[in-house]
Amino acid sequence: MKQWGIALGAGGILGFAHIGVLEALEARGLKPGFVAGTSAGAIIGGLWASGVKLSSIKAQMETLALDQSAAALYAQNGAPAHSVSPMALQGLLGTGWIESIFRRVTGNKMMSDVEVPLAIVSCDLYTGDIVVFTNRPPGPRFLERTILEGPTGLSRRYVTGVPLATAIMASCALPGVFVPKKVYDYQLVDGGVKEMVPAYEVRRMGAEEVLSVDLGWHIDRAREVKGL
């Protein structure tokens, strides 16, 4: 049987669908040998690859969805309300509260502690480069923060020595909602800005076949740009 992996795409609240996909695979005795995720896909894929049960992932996603909805309501109205949790309000200023949840759920694992080959995609706000956190770096002579070019010609920087929770947070730091996640000299935002479905990373790690889960969450580009 060919080695295969799964690429879980970005999608915000639609990311719950990734849980259903993994549940369906488990019910059929199928387990991907490689996992890559962007944004919501990074949350589901990262937690699952680290050994967290799907039932626990679902519970954590429900908690995050409620707190982020409250934060969005606060930002829209410009005033606090009794229904807005302190955790959600803190999320307007930084990523600490949500990253602490990831740390707790993953048991503070480092990327290198994850046995399943894993890649989590983010984007550097300043350079526009794709930044990939992985436990399967490219090539035998890999140096931390190696720069390569992917199929689209975009520079890819590979990072290994970080906590899994940090990688997940960097991949889902949606611009305008969360402040960028600083890792080394990078200012990282949601990986969906550059790569919605990280199928390339699954193949790079060694998969012969890739199951890509595209949630259809794409930013429409204007066909014509007009001046003032």
**Average pLDDT, integer, range 190-201:** 94
| Residue type at position 100 | S
The pLDDT mean for the chain works out to 82
Q: Tell me, what CATH number does 165's domain have?
A: 3.40.1090.10
Q: Is 192 exposed, middle or buried (0-12, 13-18, 19+ CB in 10 A)?
A: buried
- Expressed as residue numbers, the domain containing 182 is 4-213
Cα–Cα distance between 104 and 156 in angstroms, integer? Answer: 29
Q: Which of 105, 19, 26, 92 is nearest to 60 (CA)?
A: 105
Residue 73 has pLDDT above 50, yes or no: no
- Confidence (pLDDT) at 150: 60
Residue 50 has pLDDT above 50, yes or no: yes
- Confidence (pLDDT) at 66: 54
- Residue 222 counted as domain residue: no
Cα–Cα distance between 51 and 43 in angstroms, integer? Answer: 13
Residue, of 102 and 222, whose pLDDT is higher:
102
Q: What is the β-pairing status of strands 4-8 and 181-183?
A: unpaired
DSSP conformation class of 83: T
- Residue 224 counted as domain residue: no
Report pLDDT digits (tens) over 100-152.
989 999 999 999 999 999 999 999 998 999 999 999 998 755 555 566 666 65
Task: At 101, list the tokens.
Answer: 């949840």
Cα–Cα distance between 181 and 171 in angstroms, integer? Answer: 9
- Residue 198 counted as domain residue: yes
The pTM assigned to this predicted structure is 0.81
Report pLDDT digits (tens) over 20-46.
999 999 999 999 999 999 999 999 999
**Average pLDDT, integer, range 161-184:** 93
- Confidence (pLDDT) at 151: 60
Give the lowest-confidence range in 3-7, 26-30, 67-71, 87-91: 87-91
- Confidence (pLDDT) at 175: 86
- Confidence (pLDDT) at 148: 63
- Residue 51 counted as domain residue: yes
Residue 221 has pLDDT above 60, yes or no: no
- Confidence (pLDDT) at 13: 79
Number of domains in the chain: 1
Residues 6+ apart with CB under 8 A from 223: none
